[in-house]
Amino acid sequence: MEQNMTSLIMIFGATGDLAKRKLFPSLYRLFERGKLSDQFAVVGVARRPLSNDEFQQSVKDSVISSLGEKNSLDQFVSHFYYQSHDVTDSNSYVALKKLADEIDAYYQLKGNRIFYLAMAPEFFGTIALHLQSDGLTDVTGYKRLVIEKPFGHDLESAKKLNQQIRTAFSEEEIYRIDHYLGKEMVRNIEVIRFANAIFEPLWNNRYISNIQITSSEILGVEERGRYYESSGALRDMLQNHMLQIVALLAMEPPINLTTDEIRSEKVRVFRSLRTIKGEKVNDYFVRGQYGPGTIEDQQVPKYRDEPMVDKESNTETFVAGKVMIDNFRWAGVPFYIRTGKRMEKKTTKIVIQFKDIPMNLYYQPEKMLNPNLLVIHIQPEEGITLHLNAKQAGGHLNAQEVKLSFSNTGTYTMNTPEGYEKLLYDCMRGDATNFTHWDEVAYSWAFVDKISEMWEKTKADFPNYSAGTMGPEAADQLLEKDGFFWWPVTDLEVDVCK
């Protein structure tokens, strides 16, 4: 793998929220930890007029607000340049190319370029086409395109976007961000699975009864009402993050850890997803939208009263589903997934529930043995907990539940810069393993499109859950009809050692 950290990074949308909250602090952390060579430069692009000094100040401010005061900030921001540029205006790419070539020569960047599109998705195709037609991709080094979600709105729009970007970049040069793949414990899934003799032999339908993945937020849509109205939880969370986690949990061991091998095993999972369509959708998937409620002692409004949201909105702020993987390993094992806004607790967790033992020697009428659970805590706390049964001290062979926990130092904020830091670093090293391949995107849209087609045809009875709860009753019934229940996230905490 290429380890060349010398690069010109062009950030389109450099005055936006993502750049300020995630990208600049992440670049700074790489710089601070000596992961960036001195041969790097950043060109920020956005429409508003800013001088280089003003831009550098805004980069400093965003690093300070994220990470606090830092000594080497002046040195860091001296590598930053700004170009006021409307990405829809062909003429401005000429000036951008001139600036890029000058900076390349000054820092001896060997023609290595990363184009990071931190902008609204409607611009992705236009920018990629211009980068090629105006010569910005004519370089002697590597060229890479980093592209934010959402990658399309459905399979058709994703295909169109892919065609546009593929005219300028090959598949190997495209780094589609799924920031969940930058999260420490998401990356840990494959290590937990493939580096432990005690798990892999049990990781199949003979020993696992079901898997539950929850990603819940306390926040509502905040100022993102306009975007969310056209997206909803299905497209915003399930098509990408949730299905990526399913793929990592379900994939076969790759023959080695190269990007191609890991991606091809993930793609095989996507190919095995049972297609749910037509009336069946409502047997497998549940949608919800929050009504008013109380969160942390504060009254919060219903979704339909949020800014820029239709008063009659049919957009789901919650989705739960039963995903079946029709292959030899997983036949019959439901993967239950749920995600939503304005829920009781902010958490992302995976619960692997093992089957009951064949005979319970410790049966007591009022107390059944607990099934073994492996809980992977993704955020805000990071770690794993194994729930076992062991003898109650002093008792007469009474079994009780004990928990073995391991915790990483917790990171307490959603989408912490660390995830982006790892992904930016991977991109600079040319490691695309934790970015989504086109085939993964296409299969996941094909899966999700069948659900949205059905839901868009029928008006839902919204709102159907109160803010501050774990979603609508129908999401509980989805598991109850299979004889399961959602393990309460509040009972699954891991002690975080800091």
Question: Token match 């079901």: residue?
Answer: 210
Distance CA 333, CA 376 (A): 18
As a whole number of Å, the end-to-end CA separation of the chain is 34
Q: How many other C-beta atoms are found inside a 10 Å radius of the C-beta of residue 479?
A: 19
Q: By C-beta, is 14 or 221 nearer to ligand NAP?
A: 14
In the residue annotation, 241 being an active-site residue is answered as yes
**What's the DSSP call for residue 197?**
T
Q: Considering the complex, what minimum distance in angstroms separates the CB of residue 306 from ligand NAP?
A: 17
Q: What is the binding site for ligand NAP (CB under 6 A)?
A: 13-18, 46-48, 85-88, 118-121, 148-149
Q: Which of 275, 212, 208 is nearest to 245 (CA)?
A: 212
Q: By C-beta, is 85 or 338 nearer to ligand NAP?
A: 85
Q: Considering the complex, what minimum distance in angstroms separates the CB of residue 89 from ligand NAP?
A: 8
Distance CA 338, CA 320 (A): 4
Distance CA 16, CA 19 (A): 6
Q: Considering the complex, what minimum distance in angstroms separates the CB of residue 18 from ligand NAP?
A: 3
Q: By C-beta, is 226 or 391 nearer to ligand NAP?
A: 226
Q: For 4-133, list the strands marked E by DSSP.
A: 7-12, 40-46, 80-84, 113-117
Q: Considering the complex, what minimum distance in angstroms separates the CB of residue 159 from ligand NAP?
A: 18
**What's the DSSP call for residue 409?**
P
Q: By C-beta, is 234 or 324 nearer to ligand NAP?
A: 234
Query: By beta-carbon distance, which residue lies closest to ligand NAP?
Result: 16
Q: What is the DSSP string of 129-155?
A: HHHHHTTTT--SS-EEEEEPSP--SSH
Instruction: Give the burial string for 141-165 (b: 16+ CB within 10 Å, else e).
Output: ebbbbbbbbbbbbebeebeebbebb
| Residue 142 amino acid letter | Y
**What's the DSSP call for residue 234?**
I
* Marked catalytic residue, from 79, 85, 241, 387: 241
Q: Considering the complex, what minimum distance in angstroms separates the CB of residue 123 from ligand NAP?
A: 6
Q: By C-beta, is 12 or 40 nearer to ligand NAP?
A: 12
Q: By C-beta, is 136 or 211 nearer to ligand NAP?
A: 136
Q: For 174-302, list the strands marked E by DSSP.
A: 174-176, 208-216, 285-288, 290-291, 293-295, 298-300
Q: By C-beta, is 33 or 48 nearer to ligand NAP?
A: 48
Handedness of CA 462, 465, 470, 474 (dihedral sign): negative
Q: Considering the complex, what minimum distance in angstroms separates the CB of residue 220 from ligand NAP?
A: 15
Q: Considering the complex, what minimum distance in angstroms separates the CB of residue 228 from ligand NAP?
A: 11
For residue 253, whether the previous peptide bond is cis, meaning omega lies within 30 degrees of 0, is no
Please give the positions annotated as active site.
241
